[in-house]
Every structure is written in structure tokens, then in C-alpha cells.
């Protein structure tokens, strides 16, 4: 057995400690640690600049650690992950591949085909849970259905038998492969292009990527802000969160270890009758719960990165307004709290979770922009960009979840400003043009008397914009749009009913809309329709608005005279962040991306890991629904746009993701939803079976 050579395929588990794939491989002989950078497979979800910067640093750190144990990290850039793995297998004579599970839609699909491809070549593949407390297929409600509300899900998780064990220590020594294996440096992977380096240099002042720094961040958090997590949760300015999220995203820190450490703390505090401390832990664990839940949703509802979980908003008339979108990105909406947040995001890649909620809520409800645009922007710009959390966050805010905010709940940025930034310091830090405005007016400069504005050097409409949409107008517009949506839905329902009677089934078209209703909120489709004369590549770029490059941003900034943080401001801003050390990042991000590879199937339960029953069920599903992938959706103008066709785990989920069979939930309010969803999924499933029979 000592002669057996194993590849450990690192992905987003860039740590030595508590890494099940690495531990298992170490037991079976010599270890070849591998990282493959394969941008071609990321599609639309190619990581943004700051995220790639983090990855690069983290890889260098991991490589150093692995080297000192005796087996350096093999880094390769590839067009196809499977081919590259096979090439490395060939070169090293490895007979086994070990890796930890991922749950985002891209990885689910890729990992399944990789596993299949390796197995076909006689390589034995072993996969593990290195990212979650519980695998998504281990948690179901009393009816055996997947949860669709968070509280019930998290309650169940907390009640599952789970005795946190002390994290497994890193291996002491690794036996490396014999002979030299082709590899490149982290630099040569091309994670950072030369135009990005100067901006990225600033990031290193505030953050230390790498698994051992993640441990230090954890330590700092346990000793520091965990104590006051609950009370400080509201404070948007200053270091009050764990700052662990980028470390968690890249798996530099094991969630199981985090859970273990935090729980241990909680036990201590309970013994000391420290009720406040105990409460703090409960709240923090809840935010870990949201991270778990994001994976859970992504796994069970693999279409949620591009379509709402609920079908209730499928005919909502989102505004495809590029100018609004741009004003939001640049922090020029005229609402100081929103703008401060967007400037901070722009400059640092970081936002307090509270501010993420504020800006995303404004995005959806004041501007009525499609949530997927916002999700993509977060994916492109956040340091802790994480697809599953991104999806969960935006669906939560946009009224697409049974237990999220409803779409017609409009939060007032002025009110939120005084609640979360009572002294206006946060706004002053990020909006220098308002820095001299007294607190009285800082969150609503449009009400300020001219004398006050003049004294503060503020000229509304010139160096700081007036509100892009007034609150009252926004409210009316939202109501009107909702009314329009109800109308469309009623019409749709009537026609669908007719259609079914006539046996037309699910693809009924509604006259005058050019297609099934759900497509009206589909970014791809609508934009294509609006821009029918442009070229293919232009269209592709437009599928989802793309983050401008730094130079484009700077150009825009100079045109817009002042107030956009360009380099100097960024520097100042970053300097104002938590000083050097890994302060730990924590609030879980709403980050995201979206999009497809070709033909694959999804799912990857590992027999040895996840229990016979689950594995058997998933395997069965692979076999029965194995064909899915990119399909072409023919537009009315004849242009074909690739559309992600979700891979499928079960018939019920297939139905949930097939647009016209999406459950009827328009009027269902929170709470009562879950059961109805599953029931109507089942009903839809049965109907379809009988139709096809």
C-alpha cells in the first residue's frame, strides 16, 4: 500500500488541517497535491479580480506548506480539467484521486463528469465532505422532502446527531511522487494580469490569504468580536464581524473546525451563565447556517443561480436600465448609505452584510433592476464572492424565497442610514464629497437647506447627485409593476388552463408577449430582443452586464469629475480597513455567478462517504435523467441564445426547474409555503408522467 500513489485534487479546500481528502490520501501512500486552473470551464462565473488575487495568494501559501511537508503543489493551467487530471495520472502513475465536494452548479456538473471519466480509465476516485456540517442529502423534512425555508432547515440541522470532533491536524510529512512532474508557479497560472497588479497590491494591506492566516483570524475572532457579535451586528462601521468569509470560501478554514471552536466557546459561556455570550454564538452559528443553506439550495434546486426558487415573480417587469445599473455601481444614486456602500465595494471588495442587504434591496425595489445583474456584480467584485451565498442573498432580497423579504417591502435608505450609521461616519468615509455635511442631513441631503449644503461644499446635482428615484415615486412604480405582474399572471393562468384542455401542455405562449412569461424576466432573452442588430460577441458580453475594468472605471471617474474612488482614494480607503493582519472576514457573502458548461449531469454522492441510501438514490437519478446541458432557445428573431438547462437530481426537481410546471405560489405567503411547493411539485410531476405515458 505504501507504493500506491494518490492525487489530491485541491479546489476550494486550500488547507492542510481538517481536510478529509488530504488525510485519506496520506493514509494510502505517496501524495501528489494538484491544483488545476481552468477558466474555460468557468463560463460566466469566471472569478473577478479580487477573488483571483485571493486565490493566487492562497495557492502560494498552500504550496509553501506542502513543500515543507515534502510534496509541492502541482499547479497547472488547462482547458479541460479531466484531460489535465488524466495527463497527471499518466505522468505519475497515480492510481487514485481524492477530492472534497463542491455544490455550486458549475462544480456539480464538472465533478460528476470528472469522476465518471476517471473511473472509466480505471482510476479509483474518493470524494469527501470538506465544506459542510451536513451534506445536502442528509437533511430532509418529515416528509422526506428538501426544505425550502431556512429556519426549519437550520433547526433540523442543529438537532441532527452531530458531535463536533476536534479538527484533524495537518499531516506531519508527505511522501511526494517519484521523479519530476511538470508544474508551474502560481504566477504563471495567470490569475492576475499586469493591469490588475497595482490595484491588487493594496489588498495585501488589509488581508492575508492562506490557511494558517485563516486560523489566526479565527483565533482573533474568538477572542474578539464574537463576544459582542449580537450587539455589534447593527454597526456597519468598524470591525465587528468575523471577517472569515473569504477564508471560508476558499476552504482555508474548515467549517467543521469553526463550528467546533465556536461551540466550545458556547459551552464555556453556558457554564459561566454568560447568557449574552451564548446568544452571540447562536446568532453567529445562524450565519454559518445560511452558508450551509446556500449549498443546500444549490444542490437541491440547481437552477437557482438563474431563476427564482419561486415562480411568483416570473412575469415581473424588471427594468433593463443600463443607466440605473451604472449609477448603482458607481455609487451615484443620491442615497448616501447606498452610495457609500457601493464605493466601498468598488474600492475594497468588501461590504458588511448589512450594507449588502441595503444596496441589493435598493437595487431591486427602487431601481427594479433584475436581481441577476446585481448578483453578477457581486460575484465580480466581492473578495469573498461565493456563488451559492450570492444566489441565496439575492433571492432572499428580491422576494424569490418563501421566507425572504417580499418584493413590496420597501426599506427606506434614509431610515436605515440613521439606524446602521447613526453618526454618519460610514458615509463620510466613503463619500468624501459629503464629509462636511452635519449628521442631521447626512442621510438625506436633499432635505438640507441650501445654507447647510453650501457650508458643507455640497452642490446637489453637481458634486453629489439628487436621488435617482424619489422614494414615493419608487413605491408607486413598484406597486404599478406588481399590478402589471398580477394581470399577466391571471392571463397566463387562463391561457395555460385552456392550453392544457387542448393538450398543448406546458409551452403555451401568450399572445403579444413573444413567448412564455417566464422569459420576460430572463436577462438573456430580453436584452437580446432589445438589441437585435448587434454581433454575436457583443451579445455574449451583454448576457449579463460585465464589471468594467479598472481603467474603464477610472476613465468614467474622470469624466464624472471627482467622487469616484480612483487610486488615491482607494489607497486611503484601504488604509482605513482593519490593519494588516487577517482580521477575519465574516459575514457571509452574497456573491455569485452563473453559467454552464456543456453536456453533463449533476450530482456526485460518494458511496463510501455519504451512506448507501443517498448514494443509491443519486446514482439512480443519474441514470434516469442523465442527459441535460446546454440547449438552444430559439428567439422570435431567430437568434439562438444558449440557455442553461439545469441538470437534474430527481423528477420532482426536474419539474421544479421546467419553467411552465413551476409550482403555483403567487399568492402563497411565508410559512404555509413549503408544503404547498413540494405538493405542487409532486402534482406537476405526476401530471407530466401521465401526459407522457
Partner DNA sequence: GAAGTTTTGTA
Partner DNA sequence: ACAAAACTT
Residues that bind DNA (CB under 7 A): 150, 234, 286, 290, 353-354, 357, 389, 392-393, 396, 404, 408-412, 475, 588, 590
Cβ nearer to DNA, comparing 215 with 412: 412
Cβ nearer to DNA, comparing 406 with 619: 406
Widest distance between CA atoms in the chain:
82
Residue 278: CB minimum distance to DNA, A: 14
Residue 196: CB minimum distance to DNA, A: 29
The enclosing H or E element of 614 equals helix 612-624
CA distance 688 to 693: 8
The enclosing H or E element of 262 equals helix 255-271
Residue 482: CB minimum distance to DNA, A: 11
Residue 590: CB minimum distance to DNA, A: 6
Residue 268: CB minimum distance to DNA, A: 23
Helix (H, G, I), strand (E, B) or coil at 207: coil
Cβ nearer to DNA, comparing 150 with 325: 150
Residue 340: CB minimum distance to DNA, A: 18
* Cell matching residue 295: 449549498
Cβ nearer to DNA, comparing 186 with 297: 297
Cβ nearer to DNA, comparing 89 with 389: 389
Cβ nearer to DNA, comparing 236 with 605: 236
Q: How far, CA to CA in Å, does 542 sit from each of 175, 527, 537, 546?
A: 49, 7, 9, 7
Cβ nearer to DNA, comparing 336 with 393: 393
Q: Are 88 and 46 in contact (CB under 8 A)?
A: no
Among residues 402, 327, 328, 381, which one has the least CA distance to residue 359? 328
Paired with 124 in beta bridges are 96
* Stated length of the chain: 693
Residue 642: CB minimum distance to DNA, A: 28
Q: How far, CA to CA in Å, does 303 sit from each of 91, 149, 230, 308, 650?
A: 38, 17, 34, 8, 13
Q: How far, CA to CA in Å, does 562 sit from each of 432, 433, 465, 480, 559?
A: 9, 8, 12, 36, 8
Residue 139: CB minimum distance to DNA, A: 17
Residue 410: CB minimum distance to DNA, A: 4
CA distance 12 to 440: 46
Cβ nearer to DNA, comparing 42 with 403: 403
Among residues 483, 478, 521, which one has the least CA distance to residue 662? 521
Among residues 259, 315, 318, which one has the least CA distance to residue 287? 259
CA distance 138 to 121: 30
Residue 587: CB minimum distance to DNA, A: 8
The DSSP call for residue 68 is H
Cβ nearer to DNA, comparing 468 with 661: 468
Burial class of 454 by CB neighbour count within 10 A (0 to 12, 13 to 18, 19+): exposed
Q: How far, CA to CA in Å, does 34 sit from each of 17, 19, 62?
A: 16, 14, 11
Cβ nearer to DNA, comparing 100 with 412: 412
Half-sphere exposure of 252 (CA within 13 A, CB side): 33
Dihedral of CA 250/255/256/262: which sign? positive
Cβ nearer to DNA, comparing 65 with 225: 225
Cβ nearer to DNA, comparing 150 with 622: 150
Cβ nearer to DNA, comparing 442 with 661: 442
Cβ nearer to DNA, comparing 286 with 542: 286
Residue 691: CB minimum distance to DNA, A: 36
Cβ nearer to DNA, comparing 178 with 415: 415
Residue 390: CB minimum distance to DNA, A: 10
Cβ nearer to DNA, comparing 151 with 608: 151
Q: What are phi and psi of 8, to 5 degrees?
A: -105, 115
CA distance 384 to 585: 8
* Cell matching residue 48: 473577478
Residue 392: CB minimum distance to DNA, A: 4
* Cell matching residue 424: 454618519
**In terms of C-beta distances under 8 Å and separation of at least 24 residues, what long-range contacts does 114-117 make, across chains too?**
114/81, 114/82, 114/85, 115/604, 117/82, 117/86
Residue 395: CB minimum distance to DNA, A: 7
Burial class of 501 by CB neighbour count within 10 A (0 to 12, 13 to 18, 19+): exposed
Q: How far, CA to CA in Å, does 14 sit from each of 28, 63, 247, 406?
A: 20, 10, 9, 38
Residue 408: CB minimum distance to DNA, A: 6
Among residues 310, 576, 535, which one has the least CA distance to residue 425? 576
* Cell matching residue 607: 458511496
Residue 389: CB minimum distance to DNA, A: 7
Amino acid at each position: 500500500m505504501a507504493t500506491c500513489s494518490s492525487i489530491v485534487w485541491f479546489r476550494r479546500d486550500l488547507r492542510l488541517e481538517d481536510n478529509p481528502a488530504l488525510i485519506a490520501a496520506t493514509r494510502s501512500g505517496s501524495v501528489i497535491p494538484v491544483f488545476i486552473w481552468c477558466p474555460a470551464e468557468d463560463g460566466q462565473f469566471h472569478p473577478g479580480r479580487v477573488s483571483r488575487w485571493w486565490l493566487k495568494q492562497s495557492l502560494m501559501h498552500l504550496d509553501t506548506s506542502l513543500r515543507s511537508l515534502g510534496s509541492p503543489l502541482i499547479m497547472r493551467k488547462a482547458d479541460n480539467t479531466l484531460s489535465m487530471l488524466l495527463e497527471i495520472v499518466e505522468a505519475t502513475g497515480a492510481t487514485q484521486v481524492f477530492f472534497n465536494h463542491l455544490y455550486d452548479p458549475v462544480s456539480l456538473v464538472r465533478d460528476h463528469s470528472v469522476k465518471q471519466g476517471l473511473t472509466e480509465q480505471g482510476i479509483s476516485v474518493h470524494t469527501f465532505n470538506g465544506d459542510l456540517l451536513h451534506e445536502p442529502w442528509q437533511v430532509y423534512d418529515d416528509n422526506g422532502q428538501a426544505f425550502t425555508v431556512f429556519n426549519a432547515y437550520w433547526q433540523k440541522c442543529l438537532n441532527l446527531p452531530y458531535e463536533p470532533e476536534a479538527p484533524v491536524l495537518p499531516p506531519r510529512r508527505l511522501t511526494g511522487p517519484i521523479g519530476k512532474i511538470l508544474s508551474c508557479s502560481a504566477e504563471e497560472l495567470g490569475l492576475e494580469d499586469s493591469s490588475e497588479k497595482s490595484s491588487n497590491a493594496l489588498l495585501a494591506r488589509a488581508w492575508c490569504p492562506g490557511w494558517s492566516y485563516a486560523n489566526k483570524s479565527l483565533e482573533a475572532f474568538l477572542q474578539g468580536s464574537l463576544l459582542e457579535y449580537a450587539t455589534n451586528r447593527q454597526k456597519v462601521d468598524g470591525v465587528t464581524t468575523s471577517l472569515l468569509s473569504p477564508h471560508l470560501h476558499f476552504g482555508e478554514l474548515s467549517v467543521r473546525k469553526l463550528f467546533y471552536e465556536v461551540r466550545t466557546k458556547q459551552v464555556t459561556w453556558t457554564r459561566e451563565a454568560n447568557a449574552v455570550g451564548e446568544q452571540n454564538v447562536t446568532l453567529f452559528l445562524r450565519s454559518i447556517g445560511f452558508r450551509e443553506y446556500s449549498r443546500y439550495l444549490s444542490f437541491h434546486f440547481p437552477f437557482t443561480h438563474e431563476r427564482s426558487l419561486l415562480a411568483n415573480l416570473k412575469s415581473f417587469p424588471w427594468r433593463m436600465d443600463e443607466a440605473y445599473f451604472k449609477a448603482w455601481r458607481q455609487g451615484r444614486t443620491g442615497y448616501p448609505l447606498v452610495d457609500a456602500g457601493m464605493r466601498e465595494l468598488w474600492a475594497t471588495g468588501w461590504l458588511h452584510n448589512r450594507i449588502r442587504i441595503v444596496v441589493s434591496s435598493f437595487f431591486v425595489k427602487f431601481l427594479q433592476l433584475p436581481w441577476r445583474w446585481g448578483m453578477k456584480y457581486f460575484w465580480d467584485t466581492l473578495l469573498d464572492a461565493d456563488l451559492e451565498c450570492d444566489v441565496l442573498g439575492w433571492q432572499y432580497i428580491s422576494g424569490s424565497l418563501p421566507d425572504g423579504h417580499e418584493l413590496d417591502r420597501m426599506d427606506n435608505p434614509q431610515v436605515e442610514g440613521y439606524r446602521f450609521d447613526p453618526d454618519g461616519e460610514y458615509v463620510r468615509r466613503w463619500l468624501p464629497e459629503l464629509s462636511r455635511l452635519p449628521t442631521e442631513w447626512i442621510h438625506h441631503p436633499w432635505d438640507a437647506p441650501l445654507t447647510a449644503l453650501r457650508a458643507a461644499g455640497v452642490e446637489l446635482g453637481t458634486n453629489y447627485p439628487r436621488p435617482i428615484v424619489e422614494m414615493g415615486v419608487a413605491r408607486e412604480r413598484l406597486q404599478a409593476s406588481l399590478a402589471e405582474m398580477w394581470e399577466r399572471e391571471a392571463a397566463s393562468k387562463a391561457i395555460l388552463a385552456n392550453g392544457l384542455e387542448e393538450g398543448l401542455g406546458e409551452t403555451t405562449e401568450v399572445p403579444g408577449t413573444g413567448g412564455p412569461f417566464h422569459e420576460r424576466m430572463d436577462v438573456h432573452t430580453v436584452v437580446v430582443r432589445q438589441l437585435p442588430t448587434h454581433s454575436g460577441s457583443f451579445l455574449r458580453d451583454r448576457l449579463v452586464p460585465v464589471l468594467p475594468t479598472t481603467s474603464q472605471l477610472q476613465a468614467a471617474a474622470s469624466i464624472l469629475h471627482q467622487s469616484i474612488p480612483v487610486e488615491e482614494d482607494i489607497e486611503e480607503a484601504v488604509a482605513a480597513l482593519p490593519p494588516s493582519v487577517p482580521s477575519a472576514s465574516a459575514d457571509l457573502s452574497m456573491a455569485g455567478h452563473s453559467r454552464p458548461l456543456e453536456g453533463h449531469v449533476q450530482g456526485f454522492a460518494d458511496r463510501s462517504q455519504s451512506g448507501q441510501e443517498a448514494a443509491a438514490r443519486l446514482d439512480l437519478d443519474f441514470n434516469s435523467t442523465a442527459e441535460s446541458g446546454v440547449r438552444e432557445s430559439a428567439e422570435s428573431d431567430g437568434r439562438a441564445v444558449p440557455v442553461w438547462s439545469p441538470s437534474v437530481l430527481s423528477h420532482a426537481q426536474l419539474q421544479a426547474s421546467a419553467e411552465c410546471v413551476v409550482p403555483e405560489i403567487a399568492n402563497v405567503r411565508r410559512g404555509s409555503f413549503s408544503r404547498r411547493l413540494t405538493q405542487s411539485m409532486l402534482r406537476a410531476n405526476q401530471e407530466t408522467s401521465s401526459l407522457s405515458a
